[in-house]
Structure 1
Amino acid sequence: MVNNQESLHAQYLNAMGIQVWVRRNIPDPTPPPANLMFIAEAPKENEKADKIFDAMLYAIDFKRESINIAYICDNFLEQIASIKPTLIVALGRIAAHELLKTDTLITQLRSQVFEYGDEKIPLIVTYHPKYLLHRPTEKANAWQDLQLIAKIFTKQ
């Protein structure tokens, strides 16, 4: 019998366009130290996008409660300075452009690790969950980004 966690993980992978061939046991995500930070544009209530974001986190063994989220419209620079994350993830074009001080297309920013600030904090760019609602074909690319996030974060 597949437990609820495995079922959710399989549903996420299926939604991302990834065929699940092997059932595996996945341990419960445990909260890491507060050193993974996601930066997004202003918060907008969107239940479907929130579910996608939760599924994205779940796919890399995190829960929303175990990460930090800051918004461009808030005092995100002060939040970065006080939290001192070991990895920053820019969710979407607006966050990526603000953090990297560029206007480069997000498709050209993905799949890379940048350095943020004097501390040279690793920074990864991925699609905003709301964008994935409108462009489900990009979910496979988002999955690649998630794998990069997990790889870089575990090296920390």
Structure 2
Amino acid sequence: MSHDNALLRELNLYPLWVRRDAEAVTSSVAVAPQQPTPPESEMKRLTAPVSTANQPSPYANLGWEELKEKVKDCTDCKLRPTCTQTVFGVGDEQADWMIVGEGPGADEDIKGEPFVGQAGKLLDNMLAAIKLKRSNNVYIGNIVKCRPPANRTPEADEVTQCLPYLRRQIELIQPKLIVALGKTAATSLLGRDAALGSLRGQLHEFNGVPLIITYHPAYLLRSPTEKAKAWQDLCLAVATMEKLIQP
């Protein structure tokens, strides 16, 4: 089995994307950007003026090193005493792509890096399927920097305390596109509650940065039949990025 087909099998999509005509020789991963594109109305939104009603982080005066130290020493909410260490983020600090999850799990709490467990392996495969990897043009962070006890969902006050750190990371990186993984990441960035299914398949915005929402890899491990929908979201992300980087 080829590497590309192995990735699609991991995403529970193989052999869904296999071409039926015998003359097709291009792998499905290679043609990912030509898969379903955003509706015309969504693509038009990419050229609309970006809102200037941004909410700057209260840490706007901090650079990378100062921000990392601030997060490392943070005790502003009740999560810090219950975790091993803070998990700041990882990747290219000048990335076009930013991936935002919910918060560290047990593996991440031990290693100090986001998405290093089984969900992380699936995320790496999802990125590889669209020709990306975490060390190149991708930055990965979380809504909260400390592991909630027993991997519970972060509470509203914890999100409120920690979100300004992520906001500052976004200000420093200036990504062209944010992909939010799961409901907590999506609703925290949007500032409103909604069902994840109602947020998928469309283009949102966070402080002027285009935002696409999909399932968290941990959820996909529990519900593998939803991986095809996640693939649609990745295709939307690729098509959106292509539109954004056109000269």
Q: Same fold (TM over 0.5)?
A: yes
Equivalent residue runs for 1:2-151 within 5 Å: 3=2, 5-12=3-10, 15-16=12-13, 18-22=15-19, 23-24=25-26, 26=30, 34-44=95-105, 45=107, 47-66=117-136, 67-74=138-145, 75-117=165-207, 120-151=208-239
**2:8–2:129 contact (8 Å) kept in structure 1:** no
Deviating above 4 A after TM superposition, structure 1's stretches of 4 or more consecutive aligned residues are none
Amino acid at match of 1:116: F
Please list every run of 5 or more consecutive structure 1 residues that lacks an aligned counterpart in the other structure: none
Please list every run of 5 or more consecutive structure 2 residues that lacks an aligned counterpart in the other structure: 20-24, 31-91, 108-115, 146-164
**1:18–1:140 contact (8 Å) kept in structure 2:** no
Amino acid at match of 1:21: V
**2:100–2:179 contact (8 Å) kept in structure 1:** yes
Question: When the two structures are superposed, what TM-score results if normalisation uses the length of structure 2?
Answer: 0.54
Which secondary structure does the structure 1 equivalent of 2:218 belong to? helix
Identity of aligned residues (%): 39
Q: 1:7 to 1:18 in 2, by over 3 A?
A: closer
Q: 1:71 to 1:12 in 2, by over 3 A?
A: same
Q: Flag the structure with higher strand content.
A: 1
Deviations 1:41-70 (A, max 9, x none): 112236321121111101111012120011
In terms of Rg, which structure is larger?
Answer: 2
Question: When the two structures are superposed, what TM-score results if normalisation uses the length of structure 1?
Answer: 0.84
**Shift of residue 6 of structure 1?**
2.8
RMSD of Structure 2 on Structure 1 (CA): 2.2
Aligned residue pairs total 147
Which secondary structure does the structure 2 equivalent of 1:65 belong to? coil
**1:17–1:140 contact (8 Å) kept in structure 2:** no
